[in-house]
Amino acid sequence: MEKYVILSDSCMDLSKEQRAQYGIEQPVPGSIVYPDGTDHGADIDWETITFEDFYHRLDKKENFKTGLPNQFLIGQRVEEYFKNGQDVLAVTLSSGMSGTYNSFLLTKRELEEKYPNRHLYVVDSKRYSGGISILCVLASLNRKNGMSIEDNFNYLEEKKLRLHQIGILDNLFFLHRSGRISKTKAFFGTMAGVKPMADFSNETGMPCVLGNARGYKASYKAAEEFMSSLISKEEPQIIIVVQSIREEQAKEYVAIAQRVAPNATVLSCRVGQSNGVNVGPGLVATFFFGDNPVSKDCEEERRLLTGILAKK
């Protein structure tokens, strides 16, 4: 079997146990600037602050900020694998959200010149959190089945275009603060009872709001019909549910996934610090693959969800 590792940045939200299960390396940590101005590496496994404490502090509007993984750390990690005779398949946060993808490309140019017999393949996930995680799990399964690193890279490049998200976000304040949506959209999207539901645009690598559900129950019904309409029948089926301190809602979304695809592997993940600063508490989202690429600017997905939400 070809010897290569699967690596990501700290916007990949698989737990330590899940990473061990699939043989995925510990992510390269991004930077987290705490409200007191001190700079820390993202606490990937919640060793210095608990998941609950972190999101409670965000809920109080404490001003955390994120930064890219240090270029030196990326190079150090990749060079360590190269020295061990291992190539690297990396999956990064969407280039539409961050410069992390470009930082990995810079490392690729520098180290492949230094180590001409080694290779770093970099996949721009065009997604975040569960989207990166699901691509890493799929890469692991492909590797286990003997797929070469080059074929695995090409497979992920095609597969990522069919990767859907459906879910809700209670508070759009954090997306506005990070520049991902306008203040007006944040205000109307955070009105009491309104649950914005979004997929991801392949063109921008950013979330695209498809419509608004009125309450959690309406979002559950809409998510189930949306998934049932789009989910791929290809094997292996992998579904990932992520949440930022919304445990009960995440259980509902896991149950939906299990009903829609009874034979699928369904993983539940907590949203880590590198994503959490920018989405805040209140996210529940399901990531799954469709048979066809996400339509341009999510036009077809928007029509689908609009029709679902219009039903009485």
Q: How many CA atoms lie within 13 A of 154 on its CB side?
A: 5
Query: Strand pairing partners for 151?
Result: none
Q: Output the six-digit token pair for 291.
A: 């048979």
pLDDT value, residue 311:
85
pLDDT value, residue 193:
61
Low-confidence spans in the chain with pLDDT less than 70? 1-2, 171-193, 312
Q: What share of the chain is helix, strand, coil (3-state, %, to 5)?
A: 45, 25, 35
The type of residue at 34 is Y
Taking alpha carbons only, the member of 292, 303, 27, 66 closest to residue 163 is: 292
Ranges of beta strands (E only) in 114-234 are: 120-124, 163-169, 194-200, 207-214
pLDDT value, residue 61:
84
The percentage of the chain sitting over the pLDDT mark of 70, rounded to a whole number, equals: 92
pLDDT value, residue 176:
45
pLDDT value, residue 125:
98
Q: What is the pTM of this model?
A: 0.93
User: pLDDT tens, 157-202?
Assistant: 999 999 999 999 886 554 545 454 444 454 444 445 678 899 999 9
Q: How many CA atoms lie within 13 A of 229 on its CB side?
A: 16
Can you tell me the distance from the alpha carbon of 242 to that of 22, in angstroms, rounded to the nearest whole number? 18
- Domains along the sequence of the chain with CATH: 4-160 (3.40.50.10170), 161-310 (3.30.1180.10)
Distance (Å) of CA 36 to CA 32, 33, 39, 175, 191: 11, 8, 9, 22, 31
Asked if residues 27 and 44 have their Cβ atoms less than 8 Å apart, the reply is yes
Q: How many CA atoms lie within 13 A of 62 on its CB side?
A: 17
Residue 151's CB is within 10 A of a number of other CB atoms, namely: 12
pLDDT value, residue 235:
86
User: pLDDT tens, 108-124?
Assistant: 999 999 999 999 999 99
Q: Which residues make Cβ contacts (< 8 Å) with residue 49, sequence separation at least 6?
A: 43
